[in-house]
Amino acid sequence: MELGRDLKSRQEVRELVEKSSKAQEILRKKSQAEIDRIIKAIADCGVAHAEELARLAQEETGFGNVKDKIQKNLFASKTVYEAIRDQKTIGILHKDTERKVWDVGVPVGVVAGIAPSTNPTSTVLYKSLIALKGGNTIVFSPHPGAAKCTLKTVEYLMEAAEQAGCPAGAVSCITIPTMDAIEELMKHPQVKLILATGGEAMVRAAYSSGKPAIGVGAGNGPAYLHPSCHLKDAIEKIFRSKTFDNGTICASEQSIIYHKNMEKEVFSAIEAQGGCVLEGEEAEKLSRWILRCNGTMNPKIVGKTASEIAKMASLGEKAQKAKVLLAREDMVGDEHPFSREKLCPILALYAVENEEEALRLSCEILYHEGSGHTFAIHAEDGSVVEKFALQVPVSRFLVNTPSALGGIGASTGLFPALTLGCGAVGGSSSSNNIGPLDLINIRRVAWDTEKQVPKEHVASVDEELIEKITEKILEKFR
């Protein structure tokens, strides 16, 4: 009897996890030098196939553009490798001679890697590097809409890794992506940790699986233009961020907050950068394309250019030639689509009276959607930066940088990563840009630090006790 698709997918997951577990038993015994040779091979493979995989991802998903996806693949392989190359993750990591404590790196085991459709190939490159750097193996669950390019990436990586001494099955991918397969993977007893990147429902499923999970939250970061900023530079950076791979990075800006008395200069800078501010009926037309009836983001606009979206919404010629589409907004909530996350070149415009209103509005936007993720500020006044940094509920607070690139660590000193934790405020287990040290456990070896009793004192105490006990025994026989 032939198994149905769902049963086949479950069986495939069981076989992949079993093979991955056996590979991990071999991998965990390898030295730091052996592990490092493997991840170097993976990184080199990612660089060699960056363009091919970018084209495959764009063709299969229809999201983003090849040029920026190439940069994402290079970032996920070369940049991430440079950041983790010298990290110690295997064996004794540190010896504290004063406290008499050693830190020993211990792999978590088999990792379940959930890959999204927006960044499929780059996510596989990145997650494979950080998982194997810690001595772990990883089984990927691809998004059904990006299964081919995800599988091809895994095939390239596994071939390169095996040639460098990696056991077969250390990096693998489900070929029959179904909901049953994902459930089987996340709940499999040999899977020890879930590294989830995807939509809200997927991340929630990871956290409710009963397994340790590292996930992300929704991104909906505002960008605040303080009067002290270099306005032209700020708008240029926001547009660079919002158009990078057509806005598919969740750390990209979703709204611009500016003071009312700056509006003329702000709109002039927007127009100079190729933006189109929609008014009245056109803004209303576009708003109907942002969300589906169930309140979730409309997948038809994700990763599309502003021009493509303008044509979908039957907007005018000016909008169809724009790089970014913008519309005024003055409210926050599910019934206000421009206030929500939009993984495409669409931005909301909020005009405020002063700093206090900008701070209140920024927090309101993030608490509604995007808590713990990312916030951008453009300001030269350090006191304003400090004031906002102490109160805005995010894990990445970015100053004078394109938010999409700054959030992942491409244009800032943050750890380069494509999984961005949102901390407790965002429902995540970590607020880090996730790296290898998030995927290992630390075993502590600790020596006794109590003051030792001199031997002669111990001896005298023993003799005294013996004499007392002996005397008591003798009294019973007298």
Q: Please give the DSSP secondary-structure letter assigned to residue 223.
A: E
Instruction: Label the pairing between strands 110-114 and 137-141.
Output: parallel
Could you give the dihedral angle defined by the CA atoms of residues 178, 146, 77 and 164, in that order, rounded to the nearest 10 degrees?
A: 60
Contact 249, 408 (CB under 8 A): yes
C-alpha span between 89 and 101 (Å, rounded): 17
Residue 229 a catalytic site member: no
**Catalytic member of 166, 250, 276, 363:** 250
Could you tell me which of 348, 72, 412, 401 has the C-alpha nearest to residue 241? 401
Bridge partners of 196, per DSSP, are 114
**How far are the Cα atoms of 463, 465, 468 from residue 472, in angstroms, in the given order?**
15, 11, 6
Contacts of residue 230, defined as CB under 8 A and 6 or more positions apart, other chains included, come to 378, 380
Distances from the Cα of 294 to the Cα of 290, 297, 298, 334, angstroms: 12, 9, 10, 10
Residue carrying the six token digits 């499999």 = 188
Residues 63, 312: Cα–Cα separation, whole Å? 15
Q: How many whole angstroms separate alpha carbon 150 and alpha carbon 55?
A: 12
- Kindly list the distances between the CA atom of residue 158 and the CA atoms of 345, 400, 478, in Å, as whole numbers in the listed order: 35, 39, 85
* Cα gap 53→233, rounded to integer Å: 33
HSE-up of residue 3 (Cα within 13 Å, Cβ side): 9
Residues marked active site are found at 250
